[in-house]
Amino acid sequence: MRLEELKRRFSEFTQERRDELALRSARIGDFLYDLVIQNGLLNVLEIGTCRGRNSAFLTAACEETGGHFWGMDIGPGDCDSVERVMKQLGLTNFTQICNPSLPHMSVIMSENNINLAFIDGEHSFKSTYSEYCIAKDLINKENGIILFHDVDYIHCDSKEDKGIPETVRRSGATILQVNDDKVAYLLYGTAIIPEQWIK
Ligand SMILES: C[S@@+](CC[C@H](N)C(=O)[O-])C[C@H]1O[C@@H](n2cnc3c(N)ncnc32)[C@H](O)[C@@H]1O
């Protein structure tokens, strides 16, 4: 689905629903969309979909490339929300997994030749580093991207173990400013950050 069409369909949601979707959501949908399109990514995994706002940008982009989106979240309300958002937008090329575990992630990554692993679930070092280790081994090495969100602060759920900034430091990921937000990325093979996002 084209980006303009996705935004048009989102604009038909009630204001209340739009507000609800934006809650806890990064304002990086356009960036994620471009990343998939400009790299021609086919298989995308998001760990921590929340209510599915950015999942919709990724899935719509995958529809354009002929790809598929896998989402994971532990919140039953979040998983239901993703299903509803996709249905309302008319997107079908997705699989949402509720209550995932690291073994689920390994299976999805190994069976589906994942090109983008967007790590945005629990914010502890322990979780994100474990997810990163799986992603690093299994990501498509010819055209792959590992992406982290919430990279420059220690979330309240991870005060004990230095959180995502420690995973970013140990993985050697590069921090990128995206609008008023920040992500960190690792690129494999031919994958690039689209030029318009590099300052
Ligand atoms: C910051 S939100 C994600 C925002 C979303 N990626 C976006 O860009 O809009 C974090 C989400 O991670 C989920 N989460 C927490 N622990 C998780 C885990 N172990 N596996 C998968 N999801 C998890 C939470 O339920 C929450 O919905």
**pLDDT tens figures, 74-99:** 998 999 999 999 999 999 999 999 99
Query: How many other β-carbons are positioned within 10 Å of the β-carbon of residue 136?
Result: 15
- Domain spans of the chain? 3-197
Please identify which residue in the block is written with the tokens 């993985």: 171
The verdict on the CB of residue 26 being under 6 Å from ligand 1 is yes
Residues whose CB falls within 8 Å of the CB of residue 182, separated by 6 or more in sequence, listed in order? 151, 152, 175, 176
**pLDDT value at 116 more than 80:** yes
CA of 24 relative to ligand 1 center, distance in Å: 9
The verdict on the CB of residue 71 being under 6 Å from ligand 1 is no
Confidence of residue 25 (pLDDT cuts 50, 70, 90): confident
The verdict on the CB of residue 122 being under 6 Å from ligand 1 is yes
Please name which of 73, 42, 80, 74 lies closest in space to residue 58, comparing C-alpha atoms.
42
**pLDDT tens figures, 166-196:** 999 999 999 999 999 999 999 999 999 999 9
Specify the pLDDT at position 29.
Answer: 96
CA of 28 relative to ligand 1 center, distance in Å: 15
Alpha carbon nearest to ligand 1 atom 26, residue: 50
Confidence of residue 23 (pLDDT cuts 50, 70, 90): confident
Please name which of 63, 64, 60, 62 lies closest in space to residue 7, comparing C-alpha atoms.
60
Alpha carbon nearest to ligand 1 atom 7, residue: 25
CA of 75 relative to ligand 1 center, distance in Å: 8
Specify the pLDDT at position 8.
Answer: 96
The verdict on the CB of residue 25 being under 6 Å from ligand 1 is yes
Query: Between residues 146 and 25, which one has the greater pLDDT?
Result: 146
CA of 104 relative to ligand 1 center, distance in Å: 15
CATH T-level fold of 3-197: Rossmann fold (3.40.50)
The verdict on the CB of residue 168 being under 6 Å from ligand 1 is no
**pLDDT tens figures, 127-159:** 999 999 999 999 999 999 999 999 988 887 777
The verdict on the CB of residue 63 being under 6 Å from ligand 1 is no
Query: Which amino acid appears at position 56 of this protein?
Result: A
Please name which of 169, 175, 70, 87 lies closest in space to residue 128, comparing C-alpha atoms.
169
Specify the pLDDT at position 74.
Answer: 96
Specify the pLDDT at position 164.
Answer: 95
Q: Is the dihedral of CA 58, 60, 61, 65 positive or negative?
A: positive
The residue count for the chain: 199
CA of 110 relative to ligand 1 center, distance in Å: 21
Largest CA distance in the chain: 43
The continuous run of DSSP H or E covering 171 comes out as helix 163-171
